[in-house]
Amino acid sequence: MRFEAGLTPPPTAEIAEIGLKSSVYCVVARDTSTASKEAIGMARVVGDITMSLLIVDVCVLPTHQHKGIGHRIFQHLLAWVDANSPSAFLSLSADPPGMKLYERNGFKVTPNETGMQRLGQDIENRRRFAREQRAKGREGEGE
């Protein structure tokens, strides 16, 4: 879904699986008009729950955009944060297409702060990390 919705960079399936399992909270919108109830949008929260939370992977498939789905996903996400982590610092990195959605929901550009990212891990390092994490999970199952 990340790739189809235009989010970059799309992770490998292995990394996506680990990331989804590590989410604090996740909202998935489904197309209930189809028999398969296809996932058409999502957003997740990651973090430590008490002090710091980050909203990630906010996306809606292009064929379902501009129908209010992103807004409803975001409302569910914020309701969960307000109920479960009301004092946590909540942040996100906004791609230009999402700016209006985030601003409508109370987020503001903070011009006196500089957002930073560490970039540059190549895909092989990411895959190796995913394999190591899966192996650690399997080792812990027998304990």
The predicted-structure confidence for 74-88, as pLDDT tens digits, reads as follows 999 999 999 999 999
Q: Among residues 86, 109, 89, 92, which one has the least CA distance to residue 44?
A: 92
Structurally, at CATH architecture level, domain 3-110 sits in: 3-Layer(aba) Sandwich (3.40)
The C-alpha angle with vertex 41 and arms to 117 and 116, in degrees rounded to 5, equals 10
Task: Using the predicted structure, report yes or no on whether residue 13 has a pLDDT greater than 90.
Answer: no
The predicted-structure confidence for 95-139, as pLDDT tens digits, reads as follows 788 889 999 999 998 888 887 766 666 656 666 766 777 677 666
Could you state, in order of their start, the residue ranges of all structural domains in the chain?
A: 3-110
